[in-house]
Chains A and B, each alone.
Chain A
Amino acid sequence: MTTMEKAHAPILKVGNAAISYETRYGDVEAVRDVSFEVHRAETFGVVGESGCGKSTVAFGIVDFLGANGKIVGGSIKFQGRELVGRSEDELRKLRGDQISMVYQDPMQALNPSVSIGDQLAEVLTVHRDMPKQEAWRKSIDMLNRVYMPDSANVMSRYPHQISGGQQQRVVIAMALLNNPALLIMDEPTTALDVTVEAVVLDLIEDLKRDFDTAIVYITHDLGVVARVCNHVGVMYAGEMVEVGSVESIYKRPLHPYTQGLMRCVPKLGATKESSILYPIRGRVPAPKDRPTGACVFAPRCDYATDCCYSEKPSLREIEEGHRARCFYSEEIDAGAWRPPKGLVPELALGAEEEGQEPIIRVQDLQTYYTQESKALLSLVGAGEKRYVKAVDEVSLEVPPGKTLGVVGESGCGKSTLAKTIIGLETPRGGEADFLGFDITKPVSERDVKLIRELQMVFQNPDSTMNPSYTVGHQIGRPLRRFNAVPPSEVRDEVVRLLNAVRLDESYYKRLPRQLSGGEKQRVGIARAFASRPDLVLCDEPVSALDVSVQAAVLNLLMEIQQEYGTTMMFIAHDLSVVRFFSDYVAVMYLGHIVEIGPAEAIYAPPYQPYTEALLSAVPIPDPTAEQKHIRLSGTVPSALHPPSGCVFHTRCPRRDMLPDGGKICEEKAPPWQYNTDEHRIYCHIPLDELRQMDPVVTTD
């Protein structure tokens, strides 16, 4: 029976809020003119790139702005009550009783030195004066509610003893203990693996339904928004540029910025062409550099006219319940958009050379980390040694000029594989051959010529650059080291490399701290390509970057690859990023490759069950897309004691397809089944049955 919609006032109503930070340059307005409403059992998503003021809005609601932040205008009403100008005491009471928050990093929200049970129970004993025992019991109930396995035991553990996904569940449980009317979640799943993220997002949906909680959900990920939100506000440079229901925004984005965001989000497109990423040129201005009296997005907008620079558009209602801050929303047809010249590299298709010898060939590679046992004997070196099998029996090959994407959850050994190939780890067994060189030796014993041909781009550009050397010096270093060019020409070569990554000569003398994240990663790429290597290993090069920057960096990598004919191995934690980038994809789980083949084959049946689960966990930025609902239970088992038989059997959702509930999976390692010559699957389930499965994602 459907209940009637009761006319309720919103739980939270933000009207024309403006928030400033006091800085050396005077007051800087971080957020201005932001308005939205959140109702019961409804999720309002706030999306945008970093530096757009999303988190400032969240903190502003409860006045957690820090010493230099203040709300300078507008109103924030919670249940009809004005929050702006409340005393610290009143706010504290509200925060405890009626408003809760969940932040990005669960480890920072939990006290590492207090057991989980004590931390949870404290919420009830402090706010409600509940007796300790009862609070303990209630806390266990709540842990069960967030699907925490073995909840009674978890209570006595410390935060570091449980996994990241479980920590985030504890934080969510803690936030819900007081049954808050409003829950503010600031990127709660960003730090989690896709498979864990999928489970946490499901949980948030369930809790919203059961507790009628109003949720403000802050994220940069349009896929997540499509999965959990009812309404969305898109923020750009401190302003809300578009507000509407999730369906209307995805169906017809009205603001050029929203349209741009949609184009630069990796999708699980059916074809390679449909997964091309189009970056938004330029970048988000710093709060003090924002244009005043003009459209904030005009400098990056493809449709901007003189009017956009001289007048500020207001947030207008364009369709019912769908507002946008643009003069031309009615006229712009996002479907007719064509990328400006030079925004994306031309995809050099064709010219397929058959039967090329692979440039790198890895056979049964094993990299183990030794762990000393805790027994006394080990002090004298006589203890039993145990091994963390980080990479086990990995075989792969990559033809020259192609890209292999390596995908898997954290802890599956993909980074160790990269480190072994580059020589930072020494393999325990197996063969690895690169251009005829044996690359099982550590980097210190390698020939300079070999090192020159094998370079790496790292995940975090901040920690890979020396903060006290200039950009030019750092890019020049490999040139000098490998004598790539005569010393007199180093500077010219560096400038040429800078140009190749779309940075001008003025960057030569800059220090890393003067660069944005995207620029640093470009410098990292320039440095990796400086010695003209034959193989570049990219370890999650874009996961620390914003979506619009991410698209630009990916396109850049691809362009350089085409120019130099470089071979690449591209490591990523989710399948959407590598989709358009890779020619081949390898899926790793617990040190093993479980499926490897040409990219197209990976994204269509037959799937290895783990690939299928990964695909079904990827958030898709399209609320109408149909996606199979497969969730992996538990976490990746410890590589110290990998499961017997098939390593995936403890979590495999498809085991039931085999007789005896998949008894064979526990007992025997599965065979490699060849779907085609290049596409092989590591599974006991017969290929014919795997082929009959439906595709994971279907879009209209």
Chain B
Amino acid sequence: MFVRDYMTRHPVMVDPGMSIVEAQGIMAETHVRHLPVVGKGKQLMGLVTRERMRIPPTELASLNVWEITRLLSNMTVEDVMVRGENVITTEPDLALEQAAQEMIEHKIGSLPVMEDNVVVGIITEIDMMAQLTALLGGTVAGVRATVRMPNRKGELAKVTGAISKQGWGIYASGGVPTPKDPDHWDCVFKVRDVPQAELLAVLQGIEGHEVIDIR
């Protein structure tokens, strides 16, 4: 689970000299929200987002329709982009959660992925969500069980042991500390090709564990 596996290679990119009207058109056409701005040889010069393209209403209020047109037609990507050194970037070999950390920290929606000073991809919140969904087996059919277990070593093994003893397999799983309860831990399991009632019975048979949801 590295950035390189989840990033979009060959992102849609624009030149700094492009008019923002055209850049807006490209965003609409390709359904992307972040455009890395590149110069010669795909070297990163900046980043434009939909937000960046917005002109403050206060500025607009003072203009008539002709002036707005002129303003827009004279504006280039370079005028609105986040400039080179201010763009937060990442690298293909970074772990996915490290990239996510960056995005959370700076409250941003995307990170251009750089290799040898060249843009090789882009990773966005959507990619992270896709990863989360895949992590919990969201896209496959099966029984999803949430088990609350004591925050102790060896508890997870009890669940995996009980499931494998039945000859079933865990397709995906993930665990987090129970919110506001440091003594417990919530784990989600996705088990395929198994009747829900049977899985519930097996999980309920584990001492000290509580099945808080099964669907």
Within 8 A of B (CB), among A96-155: 96-98, 127-130
Please name all residues of chain B whose beta carbon is closer than 8 Å to the beta carbon of A180 when the two chains form the complex: 10
- Rounded to whole angstroms, the CA-CA distance of A127 and B172 in the bound complex is 44
- Rounded to whole angstroms, the CA-CA distance of A212 and B130 in the bound complex is 18
B126 on interface, CB distance cutoff 8 Å: yes
Q: Can you list, as one digit per residue, whether each of B5-21 has a CB less than 8 Å from chain A (1) or not (0)?
A: 11011101111000000
Q: A79-B13, A127-B41, A179-B120 are in contact. Are A3 and B6 (CB under 8 A)?
A: yes
A81 on interface, CB distance cutoff 8 Å: yes
Task: Check if A7 sits within 8 Å of B120, measured CB to CB.
Answer: no
Task: Check if A97 sits within 8 Å of B26, measured CB to CB.
Answer: no
Please name all residues of chain B whose beta carbon is closer than 8 Å to the beta carbon of A96 when the two chains form the complex: 41
Please name all residues of chain A whose beta carbon is closer than 8 Å to the beta carbon of B116 when the two chains form the complex: 130
Task: Check if A79 sits within 8 Å of B9, measured CB to CB.
Answer: no
B151 on interface, CB distance cutoff 8 Å: no
Please name all residues of chain B whose beta carbon is closer than 8 Å to the beta carbon of A2 when the two chains form the complex: 134, 139-140
Q: How far is the CB of B33 from chain A (nearest CB, A)?
A: 12
- Identity of the chain A residue whose Cβ is nearest the Cβ of B43 in the assembled complex: A128
- Rounded to whole angstroms, the CA-CA distance of A128 and B41 in the bound complex is 5
Please name all residues of chain A whose beta carbon is closer than 8 Å to the beta carbon of B41 when the two chains form the complex: 96-97, 127-129, 178
- Rounded to whole angstroms, the CA-CA distance of A129 and B117 in the bound complex is 11
- Identity of the chain B residue whose Cβ is nearest the Cβ of A6 in the assembled complex: B130
- Rounded to whole angstroms, the CA-CA distance of A128 and B13 in the bound complex is 16
Partner of A212, one of B9, B22, B117: B9
Task: Check if A97 sits within 8 Å of B139, measured CB to CB.
Answer: no
Question: What number of A-B contacts does a CB cutoff of 8 Å give?
Answer: 83
Within 8 A of B (CB), among A1-27: 1-4, 6-9, 11
A80 on interface, CB distance cutoff 8 Å: yes
Q: A4-B133, A81-B26 are in contact. Are A97 and B42 (CB under 8 A)?
A: yes
Q: How far is the CB of A345 from chain B (nearest CB, A)?
A: 52
- Rounded to whole angstroms, the CA-CA distance of A212 and B140 in the bound complex is 24
- Identity of the chain A residue whose Cβ is nearest the Cβ of B172 in the assembled complex: A1
- Identity of the chain B residue whose Cβ is nearest the Cβ of A93 in the assembled complex: B40
Please name all residues of chain A whose beta carbon is closer than 8 Å to the beta carbon of B22 when the two chains form the complex: 81
Within 8 A of A (CB), among B17-40: 22, 25-27, 29-32, 38, 40
A40 on interface, CB distance cutoff 8 Å: yes
B78 on interface, CB distance cutoff 8 Å: no
Please name all residues of chain A whose beta carbon is closer than 8 Å to the beta carbon of B5 when the two chains form the complex: 3
Q: How far is the CB of B122 from chain A (nearest CB, A)?
A: 12
- Rounded to whole angstroms, the CA-CA distance of A179 and B134 in the bound complex is 28
- Rounded to whole angstroms, the CA-CA distance of A3 and B30 in the bound complex is 21
A281 on interface, CB distance cutoff 8 Å: no
Please name all residues of chain B whose beta carbon is closer than 8 Å to the beta carbon of A4 when the two chains form the complex: 130, 133-134, 139
Q: Can you list, as one digit per residue, whether each of A209-227 has a CB less than 8 Å from chain B (1) or not (0)?
A: 0011110000000000000
B210 on interface, CB distance cutoff 8 Å: no
Task: Check if B130 sits within 8 Å of A80, measured CB to CB.
Answer: no
- Interface residues on chain A, number (Cβ under 8 Å): 31
Q: How far is the CB of B174 from chain A (nearest CB, A)?
A: 12
- Rounded to whole angstroms, the CA-CA distance of A21 and B40 in the bound complex is 32
Q: How far is the CB of B132 from chain A (nearest CB, A)?
A: 10
Please name all residues of chain A whose beta carbon is closer than 8 Å to the beta carbon of B8 when the two chains form the complex: 6, 8, 40
Which of B29, B32, B38, B139: most chain A CB closer than 10 A?
B29
- Rounded to whole angstroms, the CA-CA distance of A2 and B171 in the bound complex is 11
Please name all residues of chain A whose beta carbon is closer than 8 Å to the beta carbon of B43 when the two chains form the complex: 128
Within 8 A of B (CB), among A70-100: 77, 79-81, 90, 93, 96-98
Which of A1, A93, A212, A213: most chain B CB closer than 10 A?
A1
Task: Check if B29 sits within 8 Å of A80, measured CB to CB.
Answer: yes
A587 on interface, CB distance cutoff 8 Å: no
Q: A80-B30, A93-B40, A128-B43 are in contact. Are A6 and B126 (CB under 8 A)?
A: yes
Within 8 A of A (CB), among B114-166: 116-118, 120, 126-127, 130, 133-134, 139-140
Which of A11, A179, A214: most chain B CB closer than 10 A?
A179
Q: How far is the CB of A138 from chain B (nearest CB, A)?
A: 8
- Identity of the chain B residue whose Cβ is nearest the Cβ of A211 in the assembled complex: B9
Please name all residues of chain A whose beta carbon is closer than 8 Å to the beta carbon of B9 when the two chains form the complex: 40, 179, 181, 211-212
Partner of B134, one of A1, A40, A77: A1
Q: Can you list, as one digit per residue, whether each of A380-394 has a CB less than 8 Å from chain B (1) or not (0)?
A: 000000000000000
Please name all residues of chain A whose beta carbon is closer than 8 Å to the beta carbon of B26 when the two chains form the complex: 79-81
Q: A1-B134, A80-B25, A80-B26 are in contact. Are A7 and B31 (CB under 8 A)?
A: yes
Please name all residues of chain B whose beta carbon is closer than 8 Å to the beta carbon of A178 when the two chains form the complex: 41-42
Please name all residues of chain B whose beta carbon is closer than 8 Å to the beta carbon of A127 when the two chains form the complex: 40-41
Please name all residues of chain A whose beta carbon is closer than 8 Å to the beta carbon of B29 when the two chains form the complex: 9, 77, 80
Please name all residues of chain B whose beta carbon is closer than 8 Å to the beta carbon of A6 when the two chains form the complex: 8, 126-127, 130
Partner of B10, one of A40, A128, A130: A40
- Rounded to whole angstroms, the CA-CA distance of A11 and B8 in the bound complex is 12
Please name all residues of chain A whose beta carbon is closer than 8 Å to the beta carbon of B10 when the two chains form the complex: 11, 40, 79, 98, 179-181, 212-214
Task: Check if B30 sits within 8 Å of A9, measured CB to CB.
Answer: yes
Task: Check if A80 sits within 8 Å of B139, measured CB to CB.
Answer: no
Q: How far is the CB of B184 from chain A (nearest CB, A)?
A: 27
- Rounded to whole angstroms, the CA-CA distance of A8 and B25 in the bound complex is 16
Please name all residues of chain B whose beta carbon is closer than 8 Å to the beta carbon of A8 when the two chains form the complex: 8, 30-31
- Identity of the chain A residue whose Cβ is nearest the Cβ of B42 in the assembled complex: A97
Q: Can you list, as one digit per residue, whether each of B158-186 has a CB less than 8 Å from chain A (1) or not (0)?
A: 00000000000000100000000000000
Within 8 A of B (CB), among A168-184: 178-181
- Identity of the chain B residue whose Cβ is nearest the Cβ of A3 in the assembled complex: B134
Task: Check if A79 sits within 8 Å of B130, measured CB to CB.
Answer: no
Q: How far is the CB of B159 from chain A (nearest CB, A)?
A: 20
Task: Check if B32 sits within 8 Å of A9, measured CB to CB.
Answer: yes
Which of A97, A180, A214: most chain B CB closer than 10 A?
A97
Please name all residues of chain A whose beta carbon is closer than 8 Å to the beta carbon of B14 when the two chains form the complex: 81
Kindly list 7 other residue pairs between chains A and B, CB separation below 8 angstroms, not including A9-B31, A80-B25, A129-B41: A6-B8, A6-B130, A80-B12, A80-B26, A98-B10, A179-B9, A179-B42
A-B contact list, 5 entries, CB within 8 Å: A1-B172, A80-B12, A128-B40, A178-B41, A213-B10
